[in-house]
Chain A
Amino acid sequence: MGRVSRDGDSRGNAMKSGRWTGLLFVSPWLAGFLLLTAGPMLYSLYLSFTSASMLSAPVWVGADNYAAIVSEDPLFWISLTNTAYYVGVFVPLSVVLSLALAMLLRARVRGLRVFRTLFFLPSVTNVVAVAVLWLWIFNPDFGLLNSALRVFGIDGPLWMQSEEWAKPALVVMSLWGVGGMTLIFLAALQGVPAELHEAAMLDGAGAARRFFAITLPMISPSILFNTVMSLIGSFQVFTQAFVMTGTVQPGSEGGPNNATLFYVLYLYKKAFQEFRMGYASALAWILFLLTVGLTWALLRLSKSRVHYEAGHGR
């Protein structure tokens, strides 16, 4: 499978004829990018080199914003560390958990559709409307989580009000929404041909062996997809922290003691509470570069491990 090049050029004439046709096919996206997306992106890049407040005309300041962020802004480093923690914990956990759920949700049992729907529920429930639910779940005294822990004789932590536990609490809250990733894995698992498993079974491969030798390689494009999307999403984690810490009391977003001050939340505060749009834009572009770098590394690393074209060459 891996031997086959993805590049159409190595194929016969039929493929070669598609040189400009391909561009035609991607033109809807290209048009949208050029007409709608590129302008605002480039404008924010320009703003990052200016002292733009929210509304006033931007004044060119060169790389001052970037220099100030890196050299004299402790909150930049704090928020970056918080986000790195979230990325480091959430991305692997979300991929593993959603894959495990997808495997589980292929079991041949009665009411499978209902089960799948139940797992998907948190992903369609409005996060703002259920913030009140999560505040209740994490409530130190009468919350669901600590009540459950109390059954086992454990005195649970303060969760959202504790410097140590606020980030893990938000990870738990986010993990609960892995239904979307599970769905993608379910779709990918449909593409694993049954014959492969049957052949391997005849060769005496056990379930674990078949999972690692057949299933994983066959769905590796989806694993890559989910990992990349989880990475991009985690770098921009915002809403959970915003709704969960902002409703505790006024001005408490990102607390306690900056424990949940994620990068984009900090950027948001700079842009919309301090009106420093130039500075916030510089923050955004630093995050952009970090995300690009990590995604690129991930794609490079995965190159030899991701198998496209299922069943080809057999």
Chain B
Amino acid sequence: MCAVALLLGGCGGGKGGDAVTYQCGSNALEIQALERDIPAFTKRTGIGIALNPFNGDEKLYAMVAAGQEPDIFTVNNVLRDRFASEGRILDLRPFAEKDPFADRLLASARADGVSLDGGWYSVSNWAFTVGVYYNRALFAEAGIAPPDSTWTWDDMVATARRLTRDANGDGKTDRYGVFIGSHFIEAFEQMNHAPLPREALFLSLSPEARDVYVRYLALMQDGLMPDTRRVQAMGMQAPQMLENGTVAMLVEAVPNTNLFETLTIDWALAPLPRFAGKAPRYFRSHSGGLAISARTRHPQRAWEALKWIVSGASVYQPNPVLRDADFAGGWERKHARLAATGFRDVWRLAEQQEGGDPRYFVRFSSFTMAPILERFQPLLDRLWSRSIGIDELAAAVPGINARVAKDLENTLATSAMKPVFRDALRRQLAGQRPADGK
């Protein structure tokens, strides 16, 4: 039995002790492209890269716990802060100081990787913004001018009203003016100038945010938008509704390959509508980034490899985090139709603005995000099913925050955070604790 075990054990094991291990995505094309590109990089620099494309949160924790994590791996903001606070990933500032590469990154991409102690722990490798995809034929048919960056929420509602119709008069809407997945509400909060402090420890529902929720509910109540519960927002259902004419406008991520590759209708892109009297706040969202393990045996080589992944590996190019990359042009070359859709303009607006990432996942502190959403998400579900109203939602906030404060104190008391992180978090807590919190 043991002999067999040893035999099996022996045929595995780590390969290429000198290679930098990189936990890349699992996508087949991504792996193929990386495997194609790596030999040239190795030839040029003498640095080998071994891919580990099989990843999941649990696996990463297990690897870290066993001291066998890859040299380079992807982290989201929460993981980045947790790992950074326990000294498990490298502060990249020493590398950046003597390397012009850091200056090639857009400021927002750079800022996204900074943790509580001011250290720079992860390098963004992707960015997107949010825009309004619309059916150009339906707009033309109804004699509606294409929206531009001056259009407002009220314009969007008026347009939706004109485009909503019940063709056969059976009392059922055949075409809705617009669909906005509930996870894009955050983008409109930002456009409405809701204060979204970075690293918010607590949940707050500002008047601006409440205003957006009220408007969102009104869209459904007025029958201009399908019930958000009926539409599976992730995946392809929402895009298909645009494709088959069930909705005339769709708020979605830009770029969105699903839409680019599957839409056969005549579509175009508009920037998010602004709110009357308020300057627009377009933004780019960064999806986590690449970090280097603090246990890596060859930090400098890992840094070189990381730089190449972000700026050289073809599958990630043109990379939206780089100042010198022609992102819009690159995507227009990938998808010929994009040139005629206004994609470039929407992207330029996002690039010009350094508006922060409005998503709930990012705007709350990594140390309280899960406790907040665990209690807030069910309330949102009840808001959509109209078993509570916006006032009840707001009334629940102090209670949620009291629990969040308790959880945070618990975390501070027990976790193995480095003192600099613990102090920073304590300072944040002292400054942010809501008056009615415990």
Contacts and interface: CB of A to CB of B under 8 A. Distances in A.
A250 B235 contact: no
Contacts of B229: 140, 158, 161-162, 256
A251 B234 contact: no
A114 B58 CA distance: 40
A272 B65 CA distance: 13
Given A56-B415, A257-B381, A161 B234 contact: no
Given A53-B415, A59-B414, A256-B381, A248 B373 contact: no
Interface residues of A, number: 33
Given A53-B416, A273-B370, A274-B370, A252 B377 contact: yes
A256 B82 contact: no
B361 A251 contact: yes
B237 interface: yes
B381 A255 contact: yes
A163 B229 CA distance: 11
B264 interface: no
A144 B234 CA distance: 19
Interface in A253-300: 255-258, 269, 272-275
A83 B78 CA distance: 29
B377 A247 contact: no
A134 B58 CA distance: 25
A17 to B, nearest CB: 26
Contact of B232 (A135, A256, A257): A135
B230 A141 contact: yes
Q: Of A56, A75, A162, A251, which is in contact with the most chain B CB atoms at under 10 Å from its CB?
A: A251
Nearest to B182: A249
Nearest to A51: B414
Contact of A249 (B82, B183, B414): B183
Nearest to A158: B229
Where chain B touches its partner, the secondary structure class is helix
Interface in B380-406: 381-382, 384-385
A55 interface: yes
Interface in B343-382: 360-361, 370-371, 373-374, 377-378, 381-382
A197 B436 CA distance: 75
A181 B237 CA distance: 34
Contacts of A132: 235
Contact of B234 (A53, A139, A248): A248
A269 B374 contact: yes
A54 interface: yes
B414 A53 contact: yes
A97 to B, nearest CB: 28
Nearest to A274: B370
A57 interface: yes
B373 to A, nearest CB: 5
B233 interface: yes
Interface string B74-92: 0000100010001010000
Nearest to B407: A274
Contacts of A257: 378, 381-382, 385
Contact of B82 (A54, A57, A75, A247): A54
Nearest to A261: B378
B31 interface: no
Given A51-B414, A59-B414, A250-B361, A269 B232 contact: no
B57 interface: yes
Interface in A29-59: 51, 53-57, 59
A289 B370 CA distance: 27
Contacts of A162: 229, 385
A275 B407 CA distance: 12
Given A158-B229, A247-B234, A248-B234, A274 B371 contact: yes
A272 B58 contact: yes
A57 B87 CA distance: 13
B235 A247 contact: yes
Nearest to B384: A256
Interface in A114-173: 132, 135, 139-141, 158, 161-163
Contacts of B232: 135, 139, 247-248
Contacts of B101: none
B61 interface: yes
A49 B181 CA distance: 42
Contact of B378 (A255, A272, A273): A255
Contacts of B181: 249
A135 B377 CA distance: 20
Interface in B402-429: 410-411, 413-417
Q: Of A56, A158, A249, which is in contact with the most chain B CB atoms at under 10 Å from its CB?
A: A249
B64 interface: yes
Contacts of A56: 86, 414-417
B385 A139 contact: no
Nearest to A138: B232
A249 B61 CA distance: 24
A217 to B, nearest CB: 40
A75 B82 CA distance: 24
Contacts of B413: 51
A13 B233 CA distance: 70
A140 B378 contact: no
Contacts of B65: 54-55
Contacts of A141: 230
Contacts of B417: 56
Contacts of A251: 183, 360-361, 373, 377
Interface string A215-242: 0000000000000000000000000000
Nearest to B235: A247
Interface in A171-188: none
14 contacts: A51-B410, A51-B414, A55-B61, A55-B86, A56-B86, A56-B417, A158-B229, A247-B232, A250-B183, A250-B361, A251-B183, A251-B377, A256-B385, A257-B381
Interface of A: 51, 53-57, 59, 61, 75, 132, 135, 139-141, 158, 161-163, 247-252, 255-258, 269, 272-275
Interface of B: 57-58, 61, 64-65, 78, 82, 86, 88, 181-183, 229-230, 232-235, 237, 360-361, 370-371, 373-374, 377-378, 381-382, 384-385, 410-411, 413-417
Q: Which 3 A-B pairs have the closest CB atoms?
A: A56-B416, A51-B414, A256-B381
Given A257-B385, A272-B58, 16 more contacts: A53-B82, A53-B411, A53-B416, A54-B61, A54-B64, A55-B64, A61-B414, A135-B235, A139-B232, A162-B229, A247-B232, A251-B360, A252-B377, A257-B382, A272-B61, A273-B370
